[in-house]
Structure 1
Amino acid sequence: MDEQVQHAMLPQPTHDELARQQFVHSLKQHIATQISPNNRTIYEQRLKPKFDQEHQRSPETQHEIRQLMQQESYYCMWGALRRTAQEMLWESVNLSVERQLPELMARSQQLQTQAIGSLTLNPTLEVPVYHTAVDIHCMPGGYHSEYRDEDIAAGVTYDRGVYLYAMGRLGPLNDAMGQAVIQNYLKLQYPDWQPEKILDLGCSVGHSTLPYVDAYPDAEVQAIDVAAPTLRYAHARAEALGKRVHFSQQNAEHTDFLDASFDLIVSHILLHEAPPHAIANILRECNRLLKPGGLMVHAEAPLYRNMDPFSAFMFDWETQNNNEPWWGAMRQLDLEALTLQAGFAAENITQTVAAMELKTDQLKDGGFGSRGNWFLLAAHKDSSPIQNDL
């Protein structure tokens, strides 16, 4: 995999720490390329024919396939290896984070004194229970936990951890999703559009936020998240990379921005972290915040309807085993109906894809972003076309 960009806020591993992280990467790659494909072989050659004979039809959903596969020792072994590799990933990253955290926190404070962007936190904000109930992605403490004043540990951990989790497929700055939305959707569909105000919902550490700063250099870029330690790190990271972003601690369901504040609202793998009622609230909030003619674009990993049942079953491993309780539920929602209920007109709603670059070691089954495209839910506010002078 390509090396991650070593910016000022990223921990520098020792020789042994890096060796542990590289071992985790190699283990994950081995599981994905050498072990995972045999699950499909077992299903297609043995389990599916038996099911077809007994029921006079093939399995129709990932749930039916799970009932078959979860009795298979090979599949259970594969799942145990994936879960173990995920836990090893965080442990390998935390060795570097814990050793360098005081230095990184001091650097974060220093960057704030000469900031070109801003950071606004809200100590009274209630982090939603669907965010705090589990440690998402099995990351210890999740995105929101704080253990010291001005804590940034969650953000530091996530920056390095998601790079290893995706095995480098998100690029040296973990920004492949934002780049895909911009280059393979926005710039293709609206090549002359220059939005003046942009909002990124659920920005975490700003991986996908920063590409908008480069793509639209005259725009004011705002980014929100509910997790204070992640936002502190996001702000310091953006400053270290010389990108002007205004971060604030807010819930995307209900923000404090004024009506009709933004030309473009985006999110990147936010929707699957929220239950259906929260997704409905987020879409309504987007409608409130967009200027007439403005655009929202929500990027996600592929939906199950675009997969064969076995691929959907493998993809749904995240729901069952990786502390992603809403991963599967979100992918089976009628997102168009929810967008209509949020106030958008049917003719202004688009469901499409934005391509991402794939490398030869990526598989079709059970990998993050592995199908070669990001799913996009996009909608214009009202029927007015996008104008450059919004």
Structure 2
Amino acid sequence: MQFDLGQRGRAMMDFEVTTRLAASRLQQTVEGELADAGLDAQGLPEDMEERHRVIDSALAGSTAYQARALLGEWCAKQHGRAAEQAFEEISGSIVPALEQLREGGTTITVHDVDAPRYWSQTWFHRTRGGWDAGPWNGFIHGELVHKKYVSKIFPGDIYGNRRAVLKSLPRADYRRILEIGTSSGHHSVAIAEVFPDARLTGIDPSLRMLEQAQRVANEKGLSWDLHTGVGETMPMFADASFDLVTAYAIHHEMPVKAIEAIFAEAFRVLEPGGDMIMADVARTQSLDRMTAWRFDWLARWGGEPFWRSTAKLDMEPMARAAGFVDVRGWQPNPGRDPYIIYGRKPV
């Protein structure tokens, strides 16, 4: 979407990015201090909580660690607030345009579905009040938090990763694609780019996020079929309705039982011979213990209560248990996101 932030909003978002990058540089200093203290990846405890205790003790007198913690708390709390304030500064001029983007070929069907407690009672990413707290949270998250903040601090091409995941699929002729966890539409855009002839259906528990995905699609002249709901139970979709089911970065925001249920539902709604490909955060077992501690530490600051339990999962047995064959999981960039899990529904 094309829009200009106000002077104050632009300055606030730039400051958030600068602060977060400064925190990353402090992280390097902190890990250097750990090395000087004789703590390296091989010497850290296997248990993550014990690892945190050992590192906290070793860095008890470190001003760099204290500053890193302070900046971590600042960034976790303030980046969302800065985005909200930046939006408020331009809301008078941009809201009419956003309202017009409700009209177009993309529809939203609202289902009477009880949102799971893990979603409704968690402020993911420290978003005050949760995803649906404000009427414009979808735009604020999708266009300000994601594009003006997250994409600038992410190590790599956060949008290119989505396209790369889809391009690793064995086919190029999918026609009926289901995306679980549509959110504000970033993975949806990648799907539309890689498979322009496919009909895209999306599901997400957040109506505010789906409204932003709708605006994104309508602005691009695309026709998506969006639904409120959760991937664990999708009664609105019949058996064998799709030839591809995909998701990007949703598993680390839900408990293990929900992930198992999503694999089962993905299998059910796929036609025989259809494919499943999903991507999430790097697996803990693929990381050295220092890197895994860093990711876990950042997740704790960042408002990711399910990160640790999800990141250590081996999802290949879960996919096989759901019925998928030819299952494989891999990380294109060792030590970094994403982790990709693929499976096929047998004919």
TM-score normalized by the length of structure 1: 0.81
Which of 236, 243, 257 aligns to 2:222? It is 243
> Which residue in 1 is equivalent to 2:291?
311
Report deviation, 1:60: 2.8
Contact 1:352–1:376 under 8 Å retained in 2: yes
Letter in 2 for 1:38: T
Query: CA distance change for structure 1 residues 329 and 278 in 2, over 3 Å: closer, same or farther?
Result: same
Question: Could you tell me which amino acid in structure 2 is paired with residue 265 of structure 1?
Answer: V
Question: Which residue in the other structure is 1:353 paired with?
Answer: 331
Structure 1 residue 132 displacement after superposition:
1.9
* Cα separation, partners in 2 of 1:301 and 1:276, compared to 1, 3 Å: same
Instruction: State yes or no: 1:118 paired with 2:87.
Output: no
Residue by residue, what CA displacement relative to the aligned partner does 1:179-234 show, whole Å, maximum 9, x if unpaired? 12123x12xxx2x5300101111111001111211221211011110001111111
Q: Does 1:128 align with 2:116?
A: yes
Q: Matched residues in 1 for 2:119 and 2:221: separation?
A: 30
TM-superposed deviation, 1:169: 4.2
1:18 matched to 2:10: yes
1:376 and 2:343 aligned = no
Query: Which residue of the partner structure matches residue 261 of structure 1?
Result: 241
- The residue aligned with 2:138 is 155
One-letter amino acid matched to 1:262: F
State the secondary structure of the residue aligned to 1:158: helix
Match among 25, 29, 42 for residue 21 of structure 2: 29
2:213 aligned partner: 234
* Equivalences for residues 1-390 of structure 1 within 5 A: 7-8=1-2, 12-32=4-24, 34-46=25-37, 48=39, 59-71=45-57, 72-73=59-60, 74=62, 75-101=65-91, 103-113=93-103, 115-122=104-111, 124-146=112-134, 151=135, 153-159=136-142, 160-163=144-147, 164-167=149-152, 169=154, 175-183=159-167, 185-186=168-169, 190=170, 193-255=172-234, 256-345=236-325, 348-355=326-333, 371-382=335-346, 384=347
Q: Provide the secondary structure at the position in 1 that maps to 2:331.
A: strand
Partner Cα distance (1:171, 1:236) in 2: 26
AA partner of residue 120 (structure 1): T
Give the RMSD, CA atoms, in angstroms.
Answer: 2.4
Matching residue's letter, 1:119: I
CA distance in 2, matches of 1:308, 1:63: 16
Q: Deviations over 1:255-274 (max 9, x none)?
A: 11000111111111011111
Q: Does the aligned pair in 2 maintain the 1:177–1:268 contact within 8 Å?
A: no
Any idea what the Cα deviations from partners look like across 1:234-283, whole Å, max 9, x if unmatched?
10122113333221111111111000111111111011111011111111
Runs of at least 5 residues in structure 2 that lack an aligned partner in the other structure = none
Secondary structure in structure 1 of the residue aligned to 2:146: helix
Are the structure 2 counterparts of residues 58 and 326 from structure 1 closer, same or farther at C-alpha, using a change threshold of 3 Å?
closer
Deviations 1:311-332 (CA, angstroms, capped at 9, x unpaired): 0000002442222110110011
Q: Is the 8 A contact 1:318 1:327 kept in 2?
A: no
Q: Does the residue aligned with 2:244 lie in a helix, a strand or coil?
A: strand
Structure with bigger helix share is 2
Q: State the alpha-carbon separation in 2 of the partners of residues 20 and 376 from structure 1.
A: 35
Matched residue of 1:212: which SS?
A: helix
1:120-159 deviations in Å (ceiling 9; x for gaps): 123x32121111222100122221234xxxx2x1111111
Q: Distance in 2 between matches of 1:171 and 1:237?
A: 23
**Identity across aligned pairs (percent)?**
21
Separation in 1 of the partners of 2:44 and 2:310? 25
Unpaired stretches in structure 1, ≥5 consecutive residues: 1-6, 356-369, 385-390
For the 8 Å contact 2:204–2:230, the answer to whether it is kept is yes
Provide closer, same or farther for how the CA distance between residues 37 and 118 of structure 1 changes in structure 2, counting only shifts above 3 A: same
What is residue 360 of structure 1 aligned with on the other side? none
Conserved 8 A contact 1:65-1:310 = no
2:72 aligned partner, one-letter code: R
**How many residues matched?**
340
Q: CA deviation at 1:373?
A: 4.5
1:67 is matched by which residue type in structure 2? R
- Alpha-carbon contact 1:181-1:354 (below 8 Å) kept: no
Letter in 2 for 1:215: V
Tell me if structure 2 keeps the 8 A contact 1:63–1:313: no
* C-alpha displacement of 1:17: 1.5
